[in-house]
Amino acid sequence: MPPLHRVLTLAAVSVLVLTGCTPPADVPPGEVTSAADAVRELPGVDHVAVTRTPSGAEPVQGNFGQLTEPTPSTVSVEVTLAGTLEPRAAGEAAGEAHRLLVAAAGSVDDGENITMASSFVGGPGLGVSAGPDTTSEVVADAVEDGFGLLAAGATTVDLGLGGGGDGSWDDDPLAATAHVSAATRDDFLEIARAAEDLDRGVELQAPGVLYRAATRVPDVDAVRLLVAAAARPGVVDATYLSQEQRLTLRSDAEAGSQNLTDLHGWLETQDFATADHPVAYTVMDAAYAETTGWVSGVEPAGYAPHTLEPFGDAEPWPEDPTAPDCTARDLAVTFGAVDSAAGTRGASVRASNVSGVPCAVENVPELVFLNDAGEAQPDVATEPYEPGVVPGRVVVPDGGTVLAPLLWRAMSTANDPDTTTTIEVTTVPRADPVPIDVTTDGTPATGLDVLDGAEVRIGPWTQGD
């Protein structure tokens, strides 16, 4: 195996909350500088650079007249490891560097309260982010795994070790899905085997091919099926969604062509799916018309009614039969960012409980898609998110957020059609619809490609992440 010619960079980001004095604008705290000196002495460390980016140090007048916290400044520590290090040695060096830097941030006693968030990047291969509560052992494992995946043929590996936007950090290695890119689909199998050995959840991507497993360790057989399907004549894009057990293929063949007939026949004769684990497939032709079926020809006898599992890794919220139903006033509605893969769009409508007490929801929200003129998009069909799914009663704690997932097929915006810029959301039965702008916060500024004739799959309210 050729040596790894990789450079690992650690960018340790520290947030300074000023409590009584203003530090020099561009001078890092002495404790962090001393820790950087100690990191320089670690085996395998080639270089350490420490910088500080000043920011606002004075309280700022906020909404309603109150003073906000001073704008934090940032200290960055960049550590370069020797590219020839073995994965275990790279992990040990990164873990010890993280430990030293976090300890230094916690020992600052000159009027500054420092919180450190570390970001490990390796150009061009590895990127790992970690927070102050992420242990050095988890950092070491992540960096070691990243180098191992690079050794297995990955071109880039990105891992996030926590930080869900609420100040919490998750030290479960499987919560850190490795987003892995490869030069070609032919590298997928070796990378998937490596991830399985490392017990690491991955998302694999190469030009025209995507394997998405959320936090799950990859199913090597499913990866093998995806790679083989992507190599079939005429297939342009191939996606396997592990959580949905669905294979989606886009072909450049015309409807009714022999290529499409052969592709369906190949899918239905594969020795892969079983009655206990059926896998649906969708094939899109050159005109994006869809045909569906079941891999291996194994169609489930029927879909038993079921609710959606909570999104994310949080423990399910407790049930409370005495909790009242949420009203429209209890729920603040927002729109989740759009994600795209192989011609499919995914997003969510989110509702946060602002009532001050727990309340319950048990329905699918009603959605109306409006263009920039405020007119409803014609002929938009809404369908269940997946067969058999039914709403479950979710008791939303005060401040908790539920989401309703959305899926739709990408539609062409080449001729500047009237895109969807607003969605009217009826959160609970008999509530007044609430308009939400869908041209900001992770969505295209021109709106969503939910156009005339779109089909949107909508899920029921489910515990969010």
pLDDT tens-place string over residues 264-291: 999 999 999 887 789 999 999 999 899 9
Share of the chain above pLDDT 70, in %: 82
Q: Looking at the structure, do residues 451 and 358 belong to the same domain, yes or no?
A: yes
Exposed/middle/buried for residue 217 (C-beta within 10 Å: 0-12, 13-18, 19+): middle
Greatest mean pLDDT among 54-58, 385-389, 456-460: 456-460
Contacts of 294 (CB under 8 A, 6+ apart): 268, 273, 278, 279, 280, 281, 300
Residue 312 located in a structural domain: no
Q: Looking at the structure, do residues 92 and 42 belong to the same domain, yes or no?
A: yes
Contacts of 75 (CB under 8 A, 6+ apart): 12, 13, 14, 16, 28, 29, 32, 50, 51, 52, 53, 114
pLDDT above 80 for 11: no
Q: Looking at the structure, do residues 281 and 238 belong to the same domain, yes or no?
A: yes
Residue 307 located in a structural domain: no
Supply the pLDDT for residue 110. 54
Supply the pLDDT for residue 465. 72
- Burial pattern 46-65, b for ≥16 Cβ within 10 A else e, equals eebebebeeeeeeeeeeeee
User: What's the pLDDT band for 169 if we cut at 50, 70, 90?
Assistant: very low
Pick the last residue of a domain from 297, 316, 339: 297
Residue with tokens 């959320």: 214
Q: What is the mean pLDDT of residues 319-331?
A: 96
Q: What is the mean pLDDT of residues 115-120?
A: 71
Supply the pLDDT for residue 353. 97
Q: Looking at the structure, do residues 149 and 71 belong to the same domain, yes or no?
A: yes
Residue 2 located in a structural domain: no
- At 203, which amino acid appears? E
Model confidence pLDDT, tens digit, residues 207-257: 999 998 766 788 999 999 999 999 999 999 999 988 778 999 999 999 999
Q: Looking at the structure, do residues 227 and 333 belong to the same domain, yes or no?
A: no
Supply the pLDDT for residue 314. 79
Residue 382 located in a structural domain: yes
pLDDT above 70 for 170: no
Q: Looking at the structure, do residues 144 and 12 belong to the same domain, yes or no?
A: yes
Tally of structural domains, the chain: 3
Residue with tokens 């073995």: 86
Residue 272 located in a structural domain: yes
User: What's the pLDDT band for 162 if we cut at 50, 70, 90?
Assistant: low
pLDDT above 50 for 148: yes
User: Whole-angstrom Cα distance, residue 459 to residue 456?
Assistant: 10
Q: Looking at the structure, do residues 33 and 117 belong to the same domain, yes or no?
A: yes
Q: Looking at the structure, do residues 262 and 347 belong to the same domain, yes or no?
A: no
Supply the pLDDT for residue 432. 96
User: Whole-angstrom Cα distance, residue 159 to residue 138?
Assistant: 11
Range of the structural domain that residue 407 is part of? 328-463
Q: CB–CB of 358/397 below 8 Å?
A: yes
User: Whole-angstrom Cα distance, residue 302 to residue 172?
Assistant: 35
Residue 306: beta bridge partners? Answer: 389
Supply the pLDDT for residue 257. 94
Q: Looking at the structure, do residues 411 and 332 belong to the same domain, yes or no?
A: yes
Q: Looking at the structure, do residues 29 and 158 belong to the same domain, yes or no?
A: yes
User: What's the pLDDT band for 8 if we cut at 50, 70, 90?
Assistant: very low
Residue 46 located in a structural domain: yes
Supply the pLDDT for residue 26. 62
Q: Looking at the structure, do residues 380 and 454 belong to the same domain, yes or no?
A: yes
Q: Looking at the structure, do residues 432 and 339 belong to the same domain, yes or no?
A: yes
Exposure on the CB side of residue 284, measured as CA atoms within 13 A: 17
pLDDT above 50 for 6: no
Model confidence pLDDT, tens digit, residues 20-69: 344 455 677 788 889 989 989 999 888 888 877 665 555 544 443 445 55
pLDDT above 50 for 191: yes
Residue 204 located in a structural domain: no
Q: How far is CA 311 from the centre of its chain?
A: 11
User: What's the pLDDT band for 160 if we cut at 50, 70, 90?
Assistant: confident
Q: Whole-model pTM? A: 0.61
Pick the last residue of a domain from 155, 176, 197: 176
Pick the last residue of a domain from 176, 198, 217: 176
Phi, psi at 45, each rounded to 5°: -85, 125
Residue 133 located in a structural domain: yes
Indicate the average pLDDT of the chain.
83
Supply the pLDDT for residue 339. 82
User: What's the pLDDT band for 17 if we cut at 50, 70, 90?
Assistant: very low
